[in-house]
Homo-oligomer: A and B are copies of this chain.
Amino acid sequence: MVLQTNTKEDAMSKKERTAIEPTRAENYAEWYQQVIRAADLAENSEVRGCMVIKPWGYAIWENIQRVLDEMFRETGHRNAYFPIFIPKSYFEKEAEHVEGFAKECAVVTHSRLEADGNGGLKPAGELTEPYIVRPTSETIIGASFAKWVNSYRDLPLLINQWANIVRWEMRTRLFLRTTEFLWQEGHTVHESSDEAMDETLKMLDVYARFAQDYLAIPVIKGEKTEGEKFPGAVNTYCIEAMMQDRKALQSGTSHFLGQNFAKAFDVQFTNQEGKLDYVWATSWGVTTRLIGALIMAHADNKGLVLPPRLAPIQVVIIPIYKGNSQLDTISEIALDLRSKLEKAGISVKYDNRDTQKPGYKFAEYELKGVPVRLAIGPRDAEEGTVEVARRDALTKETVSRDNIIERVQTLLDEIQKNIYTKAVKFRDENTYRADTWEEFTDIIENRGGFVMAHYDGTPETEEKIKDLTKATVRAIPLNSPGEEGKCILTGKPSERRVLFARAY
């Protein structure tokens, strides 16, 4: 960031930085890009569809990783690392799987570059078998598990991997859909179908809990329809969240793989009866898309709004001063405050840069979504007070230094709760039941949101509804009660409502 020394330019630049243009209401898609730019989270690279995750964006991802990793450990999983390259022959072993990913994968065909005779370089050293850059690792991990598993005593085997993934996406958007992205992928194998299904749903619960307690985003847990499930899975479960434009974002998936990959990679074990059997597998993952979810669920026209539990900086302290003597007095107070807050487990930054004015800093941390801002001026120093501003509500209060630690602690909890409650309210206000095609299309076209409706359960009807309205079955909610009804399109009988929405 360049300091503008010219006063007029400074004023203009400050104005530019205090608000996102266009606003969320004016142009949601463009607003999303501008929040990312203004909060300095990420940018497009010149490599097709690949993003650069900048330090502030990456710090959020590291916090997501830290929390999830702990949740995975608590549920008995261990981390490992598998090759980035998948031999084409592995890839071909599971028919649905290769069908699902062959259309969008990076293929490595050569092992070096050599002079092309025109002063440039051309690929050389052609491989006898091409490698695929992993679009997901069921196949390469299946090949390892086949070596690791012999007996029921080796089961369950509960592995997680943090890795980069490549899928050659045609239309990309920062965080939401990129050619390369970062993720975690859990891969587990079990003795029985029941145990594998329990694991599948347990990890779906972990994701739902993470979304609600950390991302502050309410989600609906459900099962995907046949057409939307993971290539190679028997069942795919998902968590679906509503963004502020009322569209759905699939935020995590957990797959029950049955014995499909076990059969493709010959992962057999001797069971308790002494007989050979194939293992039952699961896989589950969340990606850097979660950062996109954070932005689209909470950000406003002033920039990002971070849930305190995932904010790389929870509290920023900004001194307001003229001259070094005032700064010295304020710094002493600020550093004492910082150390006390840190002792309370709060992540704090004291921004005493003298190259930027307070107004510029206020705007910067607002754009970046830092939950709490403390400002200390000469008068605060004298009177023993601190100005406390909260990012979510954009309100301010003056707090005595004697109570500031407790106040900040409560405030962080309040903000976490508040943005979650707001998101729940927004989602509930935009969730409808539709019983006729007219109602359904009216909601989808004119209001947006989630629509609970009956359909006849066939892929054909699902496809037709999608063609007509761009809405898809996001999930068959796990907790949706049985209810007799009629398909909104065909009028055929249906046994339960499912969740329809337009989606990312």
Q: Taking the complex as formed, is A50 at the interface, i.e. its CB lies under 8 A from any CB of chain B? A: yes
Q: Which of A78-132 contact B (CB under 8 A)?
A: 78-88, 91-92, 98, 102-114, 120-121, 123, 125, 130-132
How many subunits of this chain does the assembly comprise? 2
CA A98 to CA B54, docked complex, whole Å: 26
Q: How near does chain B come to A252, taking the closest CB pair, in angstroms?
A: 20
Closest B residue, CB atoms, query A166: B84
Q: Is the CB of B108 within 8 A of A106?
A: yes
Q: How near does chain B come to A242, taking the closest CB pair, in angstroms?
A: 28
Q: Taking the complex as formed, is A444 at the interface, i.e. its CB lies under 8 A from any CB of chain B? A: no
Q: Is the CB of B87 within 8 A of A47?
A: yes
Q: Which of A22-46 contact B (CB under 8 A)?
A: 43, 45-46
Residues in B whose Cβ lies below 8 Å from that of A83: 45, 47, 50-52, 180
- Partner pick for A154 among B1, B112, B133, CB 8 A cutoff: B1
CA A150 to CA B140, docked complex, whole Å: 44
Q: Taking the complex as formed, is A468 at the interface, i.e. its CB lies under 8 A from any CB of chain B? A: no
Residues in B whose Cβ lies below 8 Å from that of A182: 81
Q: Taking the complex as formed, is A58 at the interface, i.e. its CB lies under 8 A from any CB of chain B? A: yes
Q: How near does chain B come to A178, taking the closest CB pair, in angstroms?
A: 9
Residues in B whose Cβ lies below 8 Å from that of A147: 43
Q: Is the CB of A180 within 8 A of B355?
A: no
- Partner pick for A55 among B45, B79, B120, B163, CB 8 A cutoff: B79
Residues in B whose Cβ lies below 8 Å from that of A45: 82-83, 140, 143-144
Residues in B whose Cβ lies below 8 Å from that of A86: 47
Given A55-B78, A109-B123, 16 more A-B residue pairs with CB atoms under 8 Å apart are: A47-B83, A47-B87, A50-B83, A51-B83, A52-B82, A53-B81, A84-B133, A88-B113, A88-B120, A88-B121, A105-B111, A106-B131, A107-B111, A108-B109, A125-B168, A133-B133
Q: What are 15 residue pairs bridging A and B, where the CB atoms are less than 8 Å apart in the complex?
A: A43-B144, A50-B85, A55-B79, A84-B180, A88-B120, A88-B121, A92-B121, A102-B112, A105-B111, A107-B108, A108-B133, A112-B168, A113-B132, A125-B168, A163-B164
